[in-house]
Chain A
Amino acid sequence: MAHAATHDEHHDEHHEHLNFFQRWVMSTNHKDIGTLYLVFSLLMFFIGGSFAMVIRAELFKPGLQLVQPYFFNEMTTMHALVMIFGAVMPAFVGLGNWMIPLMVGAPDMALPRMNNLSFWILPFAFALLLSTLFLPGGGPAGGWTMYPPLSLQSASTAYVVFAVHLMGISSIMGAINIIATILNMRAPGMDLLKMPVFVWSWLITAFLLIAVMPVLAGAVTMLLTDKYFNTHFFDAAGGGDPVLFQHVFWFFGHPEVYIMILPAFGIISEIIPTFARKPIFGYKAMVFAIASIAFLSFIVWAHHMFAVGLPLGAEIFFMYATMLIAVPTGVKVFNWVATMWGGSMTFETPMLFAVAFVILFTIGGFSGLMLALVPADFQYHDTYFVVAHFHYVLVTGAIFAIIAATYYWIPKWTGHMYSEFWGKMHFWNSVVWVNVLFFPQHFLGLAGMPRRIPDYNVAFANFNMISSIGGFLFGASQLIFVGVLIHCVWFSKKKATDRVWEGAKGLEWTVPSPAPHHTFSIAPVVHDEELAHGHVED
């Protein structure tokens, strides 16, 4: 440890001469690019969140009070696109950038210049996407799923398609980089089956990204040519089929859903052993479960389309395949609980978010199982039940994991401890209000309220008002998060130790806090007992 520090400090010297522009815009350093991704993602989280506030404000009570229906549709569409492609995915890439080289003992990402490019594409992609809100024809309003023919009625199709192309290029390059780093740059002794679960989850996620982002690019390119070049891929009048788009889109879309949750599984699998002070239960089962979920994600796409009129045989196949996902997901949840069992637990903020993740993500999984039952899905489909379902897996799942990861690793990033009191304030406010926000939406969906409507019958009024109140307060709670981050980065006086957490294991805790600009320029020696999952001998 000590000799690593001296070595790294030596390398830090010439970075102090970089000006702001050189340091951040021309960076090829995985830590700086990771920071850029994380800051960008936080910004997008608030932009996407502000769209959600517009939605919840309009739905506060029956009748239209604030916005026209078309603008409401722009808000639902942009909220999803910004949150998925701007907040959740870049946050995971940022965490991967920062932590993967530190966790496998690599000096940097395998392809540092490409790393810079894959980040710097994103601000342009989102500038293009968000600019549509200020254009005469308005932004995309056909839903983030961009189903034709509706999406082709929008004036901003070309902007959205190009923005999606850029995001796709960025994601594919990021994924290539992560795969190249993990497969080529591990320290000697860091065998594949000794890697932290977070690294495994990212390796598998990166393969998913490479497999499906081109599919999305293909689908949106066909939209573009249908609109501007007189093709008829999705136009029934020209011999095309609108449902074809949905098949292609969801062949991307379902793996995409797992792209947003598998790294979260990895994060939780790092945090729980640390704060339970006990190795992760069933390491190989955890890795295998992630791989099985990734495989299954390719054969369940049509469960998003049960109501399009699939043949009976297809409905049955996709129902069974979807239900199968419950098995590896169940294994993961059971293993997390078994990791806690017999441990010696403390509940610092990262652990609180991780525990909330396990419970609330599982609730999202339960509603997912219910949605898989096709006859019941004919009732649930496209209602608020679905909205509740995917917000449980994405907000209390993916986003809670990202927040947990931030609290977990920020002492390593900044060298300071965050304020535990305000971290806990953030946690309790988030966990209470997110449930006030999303749980009543199950009831709205069961009562028959369709999603993506700006106004509703008075029968839906009480739960919508509760949900909106939860929404405003959940949104406000995230301001505490920003406060904690600002305090931790610039004002915190409390120095972080190298190991930060008593039970923390893994190579990332062997470097100083804050992690020096360059780490592991000389490959570290890997000691098995230093790894979070202990000895793997099963």
Chain B
Amino acid sequence: MTAGGIGKHGIRVGKHFKHAIGALIAASGLFGGAVLANPQPGQMNLTPGVTTYSEIPYALSNDGAIVCVAIGILVFGAMFIAMYRFRKSRGAVPEKWSHNTKLEIVWTTIPVIILVCLAWLATDGLRKFSDTTGSQMTVKVTGYQWKWRYDYVDYLGKPLSHVGFMSKLDDRSNATRQLDSGLDPYAVKVGDENTYLLDVDHPLVVPVNTKIRFVITADDVIHSWFVPALGWKMDAIPGVVNAAWTNITVPGVYRGQCAELCGQDHGFMPIVVKAVSKEDFDKWLADQQKPAAPAPAATAAAPAQATAQLAPKQTSQG
């Protein structure tokens, strides 16, 4: 069992397949391909996401679906033809054969070829995902029952201390989600967007166009940090530190949820990532670092609680 997360020393396999991936993305009109990053009513496919990586799982998923639909049409088509043509009521007389070696070789070989193609694409995507080197920023994510903690470890090569906070379900969602609260989930909105169970008190603020390495762990039970727009999830496991990375290209607010059953409030520990421009992030970071200085003793004694109070007041940009 590794404690180091997905291969820091990744096995290098094959070459890049940008063109192949590009072609697959072109095919992604399937299911309407909503470009919006957060879950939409009636959404029927993955989000293409907003990072330099997130189109890989999107394209791979579409590619897999297309292959499956194509095979399905052939196999089920043959089956329905058989069910129509070879009915006793149409006077069909059963034939006696029960072997056809050539046919069996063909339908064993063709799937193997298709699988090799899919495996090739998947391996390439996996290799990209596992490369956490060259990050410009590190964020430590810790799962608790039932909230997340974010600690900013370093940024642009400089270590950061005392920048960290707890992030839990926002009060309106929390009041609404109580059994028989009488409150309407449809009324929990930020602007035009319904944020019921997908909003937090303190979002994770990160800069765009920056390779961010996440080190992910948990304090009590296993959780899983999942934001669909980033294109992956990673389990947060006590005693294990997993690594993953992202590089968000589009500023915005991206919502996700805990994806590993972690107890009664598993459904109520959302994740919100707010991607802002580098300038705005610098301002926000400076704000965060200010109040840390006056109370070093308190932070040393009770880091969790003290840093929780350092939570963002109100970030400069909405």
Which positions in A face B, CB cutoff 8 Å? Answer: 62-70, 73, 141-143, 147, 149-150, 153, 236-237, 240-244, 247, 276-283, 285, 307-313, 315-316, 319-320, 323-324, 326-327, 330-331, 333-334, 337-347, 355, 358-359, 362-363, 366-367, 369-370, 373-376, 378-383, 443, 446-463, 503, 533-534, 538
Contact = CB atoms under 8 A, between A and B. Distances in A.
Interface in B223-270: 224, 226, 228, 231-235, 237-240, 242-243, 256-268
12 contacts: A70-B264, A237-B239, A281-B99, A307-B259, A312-B7, A343-B95, A376-B64, A378-B129, A382-B259, A450-B226, A455-B267, A461-B41
Nearest to B54: A379
B3 to A, nearest CB: 8
Contacts, number: 336
Given A312-B6, A340-B79, A344-B86, A457 B39 contact: yes
A68 B2 contact: no
Please list the 3 inter-chain residue pairs (A to B) with the smallest Cβ-Cβ separation, ordered nearest first: A236-B239, A312-B7, A453-B267
A96 to B, nearest CB: 25
B230 to A, nearest CB: 10
Contact of A310 (B2, B93, B98): B2
A378 B57 contact: yes
A450 B228 CA distance: 10
A389 B231 CA distance: 20
Report whether over half of chain A's contact residues are helix, strand or loop; otherwise say mixed: helix
Interface string B157-198: 000000000000000000011111101111000000011111
Nearest to A305: B235
A150 B222 contact: yes
Given A307-B235, A346-B88, A458-B186, A538 B99 contact: yes
A342 B111 CA distance: 24
A373 B198 contact: no
B61 A309 contact: no
A196 to B, nearest CB: 14
A390 to B, nearest CB: 15
B63 to A, nearest CB: 8
A309 B104 contact: no
Interface stretch (B112-120, B275-283, B287-295, B296-304): B112-120
Given A241-B239, A373-B122, A448-B39, 15 more contacts: A64-B179, A69-B266, A242-B238, A277-B88, A312-B10, A316-B11, A331-B107, A337-B79, A346-B87, A382-B233, A448-B226, A450-B226, A454-B267, A456-B197, A458-B194
Interface stretch (B69-77, B134-142, B200-208, B308-316): B69-77
B86 A283 contact: no
B256 A334 contact: no
A323 B228 CA distance: 24
Given A64-B177, A313-B11, A457-B197, A236 B108 contact: no
Nearest to A379: B57
A312 B11 contact: yes
B233 A376 contact: no
